[in-house]
Amino acid sequence: MDLDWVAAKEREVKQQTDRLEHELKTYKNNLIKESIRMGNEDLGKHYYMMGDLPNALKAYGRMREFCTTPKHVAEMTMKVLLISIMQHNWMGVQSHRLKVQQLGLKAEDKAKTDPILFACSGLAHLGNGSYYDGIRDFLKVSFDYTTGEPQADINWAKEVMTGNDIAVYGGLCALASMDREELRRRVLDNSDFRQFLELEPQIRRAISMFCQSKYAACLSILDSYATDYQLDIYLHQHIKYIYSRIRSKSIVQYFIPFSCVTLDEMQKQFPSPQGIEQELEDLIRGGELNARIDLVERVNPRFVVFVIRVH
């Protein structure tokens, strides 16, 4: 560790903090609302760059009473929304997203902020584990999000989520929560979201394989990228459960055309180090798979899983 550099940087940051706080105090003494608003904004940005999120949130929050136009309120709320995302405060994200939507912005400003707000809402639903609600909002994000101008001095497509991230988050949420028909109709045939999927072709292929009933190929594609997704700052806590949901859905969908399937065939289609039997038992006991396992022929390693059709 370069201790001299650390000490110099700490002095520099402290001097800048003292300067900004002094300027803000001067603005308050002069009672100039616009200067006070901008002083709090500069201080909030400084704390954000330091990584001091609680103080950044306080500084941005103090801007509210000095905002004089709906646009100022929107910019302030967008900054607070950013801090909420960085803190993984998903309830705060949804609250501030609603506040911006209810401001009655001009059509031009609304067109710029709506893609960002839907993307942030989708991320918040993902963070809460509400995957169906997540993909519902991600599908509303126009592709202009990737090329849009910074809003409230924030380049959302670089600082928060890229277009690639939206493709991955939305695609995985869709696979975990939608059936094949809905996947095809609402995701693959969605011209706007299709543009996001082109940025991450492996997600598009995985969804296509699932829709074509090629479940083993779908799971193989996802497994090859699992390590990357486990390093994602927003996704890593959910990836194990999402993959489990996709695998369970694939098994249930695989059974639909058959009246009976051997466990050897199931193990071949859905390889499992522990064997497929326990996984099937869990699905049956959980009510996800309407089937029964024939234990009479258990001495035969090729004993059969009988499926009870659901009409």
Task: List pLDDT tens digits, range 11-55.
Answer: 999 999 999 999 999 988 888 888 999 999 999 999 999 999 999
pLDDT tens digits for range 302-311 = 455 555 444 3
pLDDT for 306: 54
Which one has a higher pLDDT value, 279 or 175? 175
Output the pTM of the full model.
0.88
- For 66, residues 6+ apart whose C-beta sits below 8 A from its C-beta are 33, 34, 36, 37, 40
* 297: confidence class by pLDDT, cuts 50, 70, 90: low
pLDDT exceeds 80 at position 8: yes
Give the mean pLDDT of the chain.
88
CA distance 143 to 57: 29
Q: What count of other Cβ atoms lies within 10 Å of the Cβ of residue 181?
A: 9
Q: How far apart are CA 17 and CA 42, in angstroms?
A: 10
Domain 258-311 has CATH 1.10.287: no
Q: Which residues of 195-232 are buried (b: 16+ CB within 10 A; e: fewer)?
A: ebbebbebbbbbbbbbbeebbeebbebbeebeeebeee
- Counting beta carbons within 10 angstroms of the beta carbon of residue 103, is it exposed (0 to 12), middle (13 to 18) or buried (19 or more)? middle
Q: For the purposes of burial, counting CB atoms within 10 Å of the CB of 188, is it exposed (0-12), middle (13-18) or buried (19 or more)?
A: middle
260 or 201: which carries more pLDDT confidence?
201
Q: What is the DSSP letter of 150?
A: P
User: What is the reported pLDDT for 281?
Assistant: 85
Q: Report the distance separating Cα 145 and Cα 200, nearest Å.
A: 16
Q: What is the pLDDT of residue 278?
A: 82
Q: Which two tokens stand for residue 166?
A: 């939206």
Residue 153's pLDDT band (boundaries 50, 70, 90)? confident
Two tokens, residue 136: 């519902």
How much is the pLDDT for 252? 87
Largest CA distance in the chain: 89
Quickly list H helices, the chain: 3-30, 33-50, 53-61, 70-86, 90-101, 107-128, 131-138, 156-159, 163-177, 180-182, 191-199, 201-211, 215-224, 226-230, 239-255, 263-269, 277-285
pLDDT tens, 229-251? 999 999 999 999 999 999 999 98
Per-residue pLDDT, 288: 84
